[in-house]
Amino acid sequence: MKQMKYMIGVDLGTTSTKVVLFDLKGKSIAYANNPYPLYQETPDMAEEDPEEIFDAVISGLTEVMRKSRVAADQIAGVSFSSAMHSLILMDQNDQPLTRVITWADNRASREAEELKENGLGAKLYARTGVPTHPMSPMVKLLWLKKDQPELFKKAKHFIGIKDYVLFRLYGKYVQDYSLANATGLFNIFEKDWDSLALETVGISREQLPELVTPEEQLVGMDRSYAEVTGINPDTPFILGASDGTLSNLGVNAIDPGVLAVTIGTSGAVRVVVDHPVVDPRGRLFTYYLDDNKWVVGGPVNNGGIVFRWVRDQLFSPEKITAEQMQVNSYEILTDIAAKIPAGADGLLFHPYLGGERAPIWDANARGSFFGLTRQHTRAHMVRAALEGIVYNLYMVMLMIEGVAGKPKSIQATGGFARSELWRQMLADIFEQDVNIPESFESSALGAVVIGMKSLGIIDDLSAVKSMVGVTHQHHPNQENFGVYRELLPIWIRLTDELAGEYDSIADFQRKHPNPHARIAEED
């Protein structure tokens, strides 16, 4: 029998599934990225098709095995990362009653507000570490119970997208502590389904997946899928954890004071502490990585998806030219923005195009430009949009300081990390040194590290240190952060001032929906 030399990391993302084959030193050998649409038939909807995601997983596994030409008996294991807060209702025949309701779906906003107003939200947060927001599957279940009671009654199981994929492969419902933690139904101090949350929603623990650690292994994959993918059916599939916690692990941000900043479609700011802590004001999440590592931070809805909006709505001619020239259209826009000085000549942008989680936790939040004059150009608008995304992340960092202390350094990752302009902008606004790890597929690498520990290949998660190099380092530019120090207080005050009108404009938009809204968006 050949010596096992490789691990596969599968990252179930919001707009695509990435599958990466690594050697046992953490080097990427083969890569596949299969996108799928996000269905948005109303302003607050954000759903995916579970079958499309499952197909993306199977296609990705098949592709990396084909590309790498690695023998099946050289694969030590396959380990998973997954986007948080997804919800699927399953019937008594184990068939989906719904599509995947994603974290970005805001239809439970009224239920979230009710929980905040009656004080129950604060009690649940103190037990679960999940802020009261429509992203939470617990809040989504309250909405479905009220809005679609017959559908709710038909459901035998309530699961997430990774649970669905593993059920298709292994015929059982299991969920790791990390993803369970993100449902709002999991008690972080007892490491079990929370009795108050279950009572609030009106479901039983039997309707939820079996809880297991991130190192849990499944073997005996359905042979039909084993044949398609080229993976041995007895190869262990390790549960892994949530994408946010694994991103910290995958960029080597697991020591105290090391801040991880991620911007992909959405974004997050996170730091690791050695025990579960909660924010007195309920603004930060606390998610399980392992018994001695808990990830505290804040997620933002509006990361790269805002940049895509800028590209598609403000620069469509440039987009077409870029595609014809086979040049990355985002690079063209960052080049345009780089010609504008820091602060965009006083143009500010609030990037709340899809509501917002941290730092304001308002599903009705909406985006806006402020300070526009005739002297401002589209280039200024690009620069302001990029800066607005980072201002928002900076506000999350200030909250984290309150419970975990001031950060010592930043590990930055995600699609934005490929942009030199964005990396420098992050260093200037945060006034911190910024390091960019070699592998931007940090969640997949983090999943693999969990898998390697589960299989006994490594003894401790700290082994990731030898796997993560640095491709770029950026230091704050004093002239630039001087400008940002003037603008940030204005931006923050505006955030507070506009908050009073978000409900009104959101209600108007729901009353008068856009008949030309696209049914689905693809990354």
- Tell me the C-alpha to C-alpha distance, in Å, between residue 39 and each of 33, 111, 274: 19, 22, 38
Report which of residues 30 and 317 the model is more confident about: 30
The helix (run of H) or strand (run of E) holding residue 258 is strand 258-263
Q: Which amino acid is at 131?
A: P
Residues 257-270 have a mean pLDDT of 90
- Bridge partner list, 16: 35
Q: Which of 218-222, 352-356, 452-456 has the lowest mean pLDDT?
A: 352-356
Identify the pLDDT of residue 273. 94
Identify the pLDDT of residue 520. 41
Identify the pLDDT of residue 128. 98
Domains of the chain: 4-243 (3.30.420.40), 251-511 (3.30.420.40)
pLDDT band at 275 (very low <50, low <70, confident <90, very high): very high
pLDDT in tens, 59-70: 999 999 999 999
pLDDT in tens, 304-322: 999 999 998 998 765 555 5
Identify the pLDDT of residue 413. 85
Q: Is the pLDDT of residue 2 over 70?
A: no
Identify the pLDDT of residue 325. 44
- Which residue, chain included where needed, has tokens 């209600």? 507
Q: Is the pLDDT of residue 81 over 60?
A: yes
Residues 384-393 have a mean pLDDT of 98
pLDDT in tens, 107-157: 999 999 999 999 999 999 999 999 999 999 999 999 999 999 999 999 999
pLDDT band at 326 (very low <50, low <70, confident <90, very high): very low
Identify the pLDDT of residue 523. 36
From CA 291, how far away is CA 289, in angstroms rounded? 7
Question: Is the backbone peptide bond immediately before 359 cis, with ω within 30 degrees of 0?
Answer: yes
Residues 2-13 have a mean pLDDT of 90
To the nearest whole percent, how much of the chain has pLDDT over 90? 83
Q: Is the pLDDT of residue 336 over 60?
A: yes
pLDDT band at 1 (very low <50, low <70, confident <90, very high): very low
pLDDT in tens, 404-441: 988 989 999 888 888 999 999 999 999 999 999 886 68
Which of 417, 424, 429 is closest to 261 using CA atoms?
A: 417
Residues 74-82 have a mean pLDDT of 98
pLDDT in tens, 480-497: 999 999 999 999 999 999
Identify the pLDDT of residue 117. 96
pLDDT band at 266 (very low <50, low <70, confident <90, very high): confident
To the nearest whole percent, how much of the chain has pLDDT over 70? 96
Note the pTM of the prediction, 2 decimals. Answer: 0.88
From CA 331, how far away is CA 147, in angstroms rounded? 44
Residues 96-112 have a mean pLDDT of 95
Hey, what are 474's tokens?
């950026």
Report which of residues 183 and 357 the model is more confident about: 183
SS3 per residue for 232-298: CCCCCEEEEEEHHHHHHHHCCCCCCCEEEEEECCCEEEEEEECCCCCCCCCCCEEEEEECCEEEEEE
For residues 164 and 57, is the Cβ–Cβ distance under 8 A? Answer: no
- Tell me the C-alpha to C-alpha distance, in Å, between residue 464 and each of 24, 311, 387, 458: 11, 36, 31, 9
Q: Is the pLDDT of residue 262 over 70?
A: yes
